Structure 1
Amino acid sequence: MLTDNRAAVRKVLLITLFLNLVVMVIKAGVGYITGSLSLLADALHSFTDSGNNVLGLVTNQFASPQPDRTHPYGHLKFDGIGAVGIAAFLGLAGLEILRSSVDRIVSGGKPVNISPAEIWLLLLVLGINIFVTFYERKAGQRLGSGILIADAQHTMSDIWVTILVIAGLVGIWQGNVWNIPQLQWLDVFLAFPVAILVFKSGWDILQQNLPWLVDSVAIPPETLYNQVMQVAGVVNCHDITSRGVVGRQVFIEMHMIVDAEDVETAHQITEEVETLLQAKYHPARILIHVEPPAYRSEQITYESPSE
């Protein structure tokens, strides 16, 4: 039976939402005061952090792992849908950053004026980002929540973006001190790698969650075959399928031939197989179809139509 950790996940999301709002307000405020395009872009990136937390709270409300009449396989895919929503937010943020950067290059803009006090304030923001990332990732791994892990990965990208932006603003500050106006272009040029990091983060999240949503194979059937065949009494297993994500939840199905003269013995053998697979891939839901001893099949799993 899967544990319903939604209350714990919701608590983590509320804490990170508050911290992300603090980060966003500070970045947006300093960006507006200094006229920094890269910092305003970073604030937009942080805005998606807050939006992702809200999205996570909404999807978390529906992502019960327990089956019911209308969703007999549980509701955990809502968690995956939330993670894909995060990727969509990142894509939109990246496009907006690129648009603003090109507009600044074509139309120009005011010079950026940054002070040491504002740089120290941004370093405080960086510390908050680092705390949120490790706190949320650890909680996501402990609770088995895809939405928390995906959001922690997003915040990790925010850390690198903030480091990059702060480095550029330090360069601009020194340029103002040394009267090197050319360093003002750092602000525009740094907005482009910010956009690239945002897109990469979204792509990584898609790669992690699409297999869950489209029912890609979770465990190679050959691996399951070799493990099951080690159980005493198993003669053959075939038509092996699996889906889900190991560590989050997997569904395993197979047909099996057992060396048993009665139903009770066959049941005991299948129970041993289920215990073995649960130990390796918990949490898992396993369905085993027992076939007559005379039946034989060499088809371990399903083949692609072209094969």
Structure 2
Amino acid sequence: MAKDNRKKVRKVLIITLILNIVVLILKVVVGIMTGSLSLQADALHSVTDSANNVLGLVTNQLSSPIPDRDHPYGHHKFEAIGALGIAAFLGIACFEIFTSALNRIIFGGDPVNISGSELWILIIVLGINIFVAFYERRVGEKIGSNILIADATHTMSDVWITISVLFGLIGVWKSEAWNLTWLQSLDYLLAFPVGILVIKSAWAVLKSNLPWLVDQMAIAPELIHQIVMEVPGVINCHNIASRGLLGRQIFIEMHLIVDSENIKTAHDITEKIEIKLEEKFAPVRIIIHVEPFEYQSSQISYE
């Protein structure tokens, strides 16, 4: 049976939402004061961090692993949908970053004016982002929450963006003192590698959640067949299917032929199979269809 970790997930999301709002406010204030385009784009990306937390809280409330009448297989996919929503937000942030940088290159803009104290504020912002990313990932991996891991991936992309923006603004800050006016362009040129990092993060989130939503095979049928055939009394196991995510929730179905026509004996054999599969792939729900003794099939899985 899957564990309901929604309270733990909700607690983490609320904490990170508060921290992300603090980060957003600081970036917006410094971005407006300095006129930094890259920092304003970074602040836009931070808007998606807060939106992701809100989205995560909503989907977390809906993603109970406990089955009910309307959702006999549980509600896990609500959380996966939330993770895909984060990927969509990442794509929007990436588009905004590229658009802002191109506009600055084509149309130009006012020079950026930044001071050392404003750079220190950005260093504090960077520290908050790093804490949020590692905190969410650590808890997410511990309790097996896709939404926390996906959000941590998103926040980590924000860390790299802030690092890039920080280095660019340091260059802008020193451009006049070093008599290197071209350093002013760092404010928008660094937006392109930052955008690539965002795209990479979005792809990682999509790759880890699509198999769950499209019911991709979770466990190789040959492996399940091998485990089942080791149980005494099993003659044949075929039409094996599995879906879900390992460590999260797995569903396994199979057809089985046993060396007995006695219902009680057949039931005992299927229970032994369920115990072995539970030990290997827990949490798992298993459906076994026992067929007549004389039936035979060489088809392990669906072709």
Same-fold status (TM-score > 0.5): yes
Which position in structure 2 is the counterpart of 1:175? 175
> Is 1:37 paired with 2:37?
yes
Structure 1 residue matching 2:278: 3-state secondary structure: helix
Which position in structure 1 is the counterpart of 2:26? 26
Deviations 1:160-181 (A, max 9, x none): 2211221211222221321211
Matches within 5 A, 1:71-86: 71-86=71-86
> Are the counterparts in 2 of residues 49 and 154 from structure 1 also a CA contact under 8 Å?
yes
The farther-off stretch of 262-271 and 50-59 is 262-271
Q: Structure 2 counterpart of 1:293, which letter?
A: F
Q: Structure 2 counterpart of 1:233, which letter?
A: G
2 CA distance for matches of 1:23 and 1:151? 15
Which position in structure 2 is the counterpart of 1:154? 154
> Are the counterparts in 2 of residues 42 and 194 from structure 1 also a CA contact under 8 Å?
no
Task: Percent identity, please.
Answer: 63
2 CA distance for matches of 1:230 and 1:115? 71
Matches within 5 A, 1:1-307: 1-303=1-303
> Are the counterparts in 2 of residues 45 and 198 from structure 1 also a CA contact under 8 Å?
no
| Unpaired segments ≥5 residues, structure 1 | none
> Are the counterparts in 1 of residues 261 and 293 from structure 2 also a CA contact under 8 Å?
no
Deviations 1:126-184 (A, max 9, x none): 11111111111121122221111110111111112211221211222221321211111
TM normalised by structure 2 equals: 0.97
2 CA distance for matches of 1:53 and 1:241? 35
> Are the counterparts in 2 of residues 10 and 57 from structure 1 also a CA contact under 8 Å?
yes
**Aligned-pair CA distance for 1:54:** 0.3
**Aligned-pair CA distance for 1:10:** 0.9
> Are the counterparts in 1 of residues 168 and 190 from structure 2 also a CA contact under 8 Å?
yes
**Aligned-pair CA distance for 1:261:** 4.2
The farther-off stretch of 11-20 and 218-227 is 218-227
CA root-mean-square deviation: 1.2
2 CA distance for matches of 1:242 and 1:177? 64
2 CA distance for matches of 1:149 and 1:280? 24
2 CA distance for matches of 1:31 and 1:196? 22
Q: Structure 2 counterpart of 1:235, which letter?
A: I
| Unpaired segments ≥5 residues, structure 2 | none
2 CA distance for matches of 1:177 and 1:222? 68
